[in-house]
A and B are shown apart, each in its own frame.
Chain A
Amino acid sequence: MKAARRHVAIGALCGFLALSACDATALSEDEKAKIASLSIDALGPVPPAPGNRFADDPRAADFGRLLFFDEGLSESGTISCATCHIPDQQFQDGRPRGFGTDETDRRTMPLEGAAWNIWQFWDGRRDSLWAQALTPLEDLREHAGNRTAHVRYIAEAHADSYAEIFGALPDISGIPENASPVGGETERANWDAMTPTQKDGVNRVFANIGKAIAAFERTLIPTETRFDRFARAVAAGSEQTGDAAFSDLELEGLRLFIGKANCLECHNGPRFTDDHFHNTGVPPVAGLPEDLGRAAGIVAVQSDPFNCLGRYSDAMPDACDALRFMKRDATAMERAYKTPSLRGVAGRPPYMHAGQIATLEAVIDHYSSAPAAASGQSEIRGVVFTDRGRQALIAFLNTLDTTPVSDP
């Protein structure tokens, strides 16, 4: 009904104004609304993090920044978060798969805007930034540390900063040097030998490391792009000047993106993501262990002791919306991965959850050929692109790069 009425209205308008107002370059109201929905101006403030009561404490953010770059939080003393999340590369590393002490199975994700995520990781196996940060710290191919070693390091190197924010450290005199419930055999045996009070004390400090890092990550906000300046001019109804002016090709690409190419189905909102998981038929990498994507993430996030409902979370259970209403249907989520943001995408090849696709050209080819999924069901319905259409989409994606405002 609504659409039909709009149709008539546009028809009438074209009739009355004859040729002038109906030239192909004028944006329709519907297109303008979609453009506005993608603009950075539509991005609200960083959403609250109910599980982390230090999330907006500036001292925690400062301490978190320190820890983010602190190689002391690794077994070898050479790896920090910034080893893979490199600040001047959009906090990612440009490799197909992240590399710490060894190569991981997944592509390193950029961090600007991660504070808006509902789920963390490609498979959403963590439900907050602070719970996420704890995972690489104990991963053998990343920081390769373990829980008691990290806590002992905090006590040794940062006791004062820690105490100022979180209160006094617990007594760690009797705890083993290397112990963790998720480590190797020795670490697990050492962990089992600890008293419940010791374990709880260590877990609490460990969780606070994550909470400080999360407070820092909340300051990494998406930066304005050429597209945002274009969108602002469109919204204001003013002429696009300087680098806010789009070329014919860029405009054509934008129209494809929000129209016929269906990209907006998943890459929507100001972060260009729907915060959900989709099987898009990206093939697995030969030689890597089986990867079920979100189907495995659903199970993992529920059993994570540091999730929103866990004892180290500061949230009331009621506030844990993401977990409470999580879609639990694992079969529908087989090889589904989180829709990545496309802000800055042209500047960070290779693409997809394990760096399977090398260039944007090849990404467009993927959406065009829409291969069947290795397992599960791909949601992509192939779109036929002309050569010009491909170029246009890529030209548009390039306007999402974070370039500083250029002088007109």
Chain B
Amino acid sequence: MPFQDKTGSRRFVLASVGLLMAVAAIYAAYRLFTPPAPEIDVAYNTVSRDGFYQVMFETEAQPIPVHETHDWVVTITTPDGTPVNDASISIDGGMPAHGHGLPTEPQMAEALGDGQYRVEGMRFNMGGHWEIRIGISADPGLDEAVFNLDL
């Protein structure tokens, strides 16, 4: 490595700092003037549209698999946490940006008790943003929970 005198390396440091600041400023401006990415709820726990139910789901495999038919376990409680055991549920969904639905017709297979229900036949045939709608019919009323998944 060739010898470098102090002033040279100092100048180099100053220039680097300057460059860094410039890049940072450009990036900040870029962030300022591009619209923020839409805030999408990716938590697998949500309140149904009309507030009747707290709905959660877990998948057989993590992360949620693409290209694999798999099961979900959906847990339904009232907002105060009481398990809802008499529900019948339906699953629908699709990719809003692509204008298509699910590649399968998933079905509720069995009630497991404790507000839990096993859903079979879930399948995603591509990565990207999916919207899953779980329709719930039980004593508190008819309602729908919507989940946004980024696969």
Q: Is A1 a contact of B98 with CB atoms below 8 Å?
A: no
CB contacts (< 8 Å) of A274 on chain B: these are 67, 103, 125-126
| Chain A stretch 295-329: residues in CB contact (< 8 A) with chain B | 321-322, 324-329
Q: A7-B37, A275-B67, A328-B105 are in contact. Are A321 and B23 (CB under 8 A)?
A: no
For residues 36 through 82 of chain B, which have their beta carbon under 8 Å from a beta carbon of chain A? 36-37, 39-40, 42, 66-67, 69
Please determine whether B125 and A18 come into contact, CB atoms closer than 8 angstroms: no
Contact: B20 with A264, CB < 8 Å?
Answer: no
Report if A16-B20 is in contact (Cβ < 8 Å); known contacts: A274-B126, A321-B69, A327-B103. yes
Q: Are A379 and B67 in contact (CB under 8 A)?
A: no
Please tell me if A269 contacts chain B, counting CB pairs below 8 Å.
yes
The residue of chain A having its C-beta at the shortest distance from the C-beta of B122 within the complex is A325
Cβ-defined contact, A265 with B128, below 8 A: yes
Query: CB-CB < 8 A to B24: which residues of A?
Result: 15
CB of B102 within 8 A of CB of A18, answer no
A234 within 8 A of B: no
Q: With CB as the reference atom, state the residue of chain A lying closest to B67.
A: A269
Task: Give min CB distance, B97 to chain A, whole Å.
Answer: 10
Closest to B43 in A: A1
Q: Which residues of A contact B12 (CB under 8 A)?
A: none
How distant is A276 from chain B, measured CB to nearest CB, in Å? 4
Q: Interface residues of B: mostly helix, strand, loop or mixed? A: loop
Taking a contact as CB atoms under 8 Å apart, the answer to whether A325 and B100 are in contact is no
Give CA–CA (A364, B114) in the complex, Å. Answer: 53
Tell whether, in the assembled complex, residue A325 and residue B23 are in contact, meaning their CB atoms are under 8 Å apart: no
Q: Does B120 contact A (CB under 8 A)?
A: yes
- On chain B, the number of residues with a Cβ less than 8 Å from chain A's Cβ atoms is 34
Q: Contact at B99–A327, with CB atoms within 8 Å? A: no
**Interface check A24, CB cutoff 8 A:** no
User: In the complex, how many angstroms separate the beta carbon of B122 from the nearest chain A beta carbon?
Assistant: 8
Q: What is the number of residues of chain A that contact chain B, defined by CB distance less than 8 Å? A: 32
* Cβ-neighbour of A326 out of B37, B105, B120, B127 (below 8 A): B105
Residues of A within 8 A of B27 (CB): 11, 14-15
Least CB distance, B95 to chain A, in whole angstroms: 9
Tell whether B106 is near chain A: CB-to-CB under 8 Å: yes
B133 CB within 8 Å of chain A: no
Docked-complex contact B19 and A327, CB < 8 angstroms: no
Q: Residue B31 at the A interface, CB < 8 A?
A: yes
Q: Which residues of B have CB within 8 Å of A266? A: 126
Would you call A90 an interface residue if the criterion is a C-beta within 8 Å of the partner chain's C-beta atoms? Answer: no
Closest Cβ of chain A: how far from B127's Cβ, in Å? 7
B107 proximal to A (CB < 8 A) = yes
Q: Is B137 an interface residue (CB 8 A)?
A: no
Using a CB-CB cutoff of 8 Å, which residues 245-291 of chain A contact chain B? 264-266, 268-269, 274-276, 278
Interface residues of B (CB under 8 A from A): 16, 19-20, 23-24, 27, 30-31, 36-37, 39-40, 42, 66-67, 69, 98-107, 120-121, 123, 125-128, 150
Query: Can you identify 27 A-B contacts, CB atoms within 8 angstroms?
Result: A3-B37, A3-B150, A11-B30, A11-B31, A14-B27, A15-B20, A15-B24, A15-B27, A18-B23, A37-B127, A264-B127, A265-B126, A265-B128, A268-B125, A269-B66, A274-B126, A275-B67, A321-B69, A325-B69, A325-B123, A326-B105, A327-B102, A327-B104, A328-B105, A329-B101, A332-B101, A379-B99
The 6 A-B residue pairs with the shortest CB-CB distance in the complex, in nearest-first order: A325-B121, A274-B125, A325-B104, A4-B37, A276-B103, A15-B23
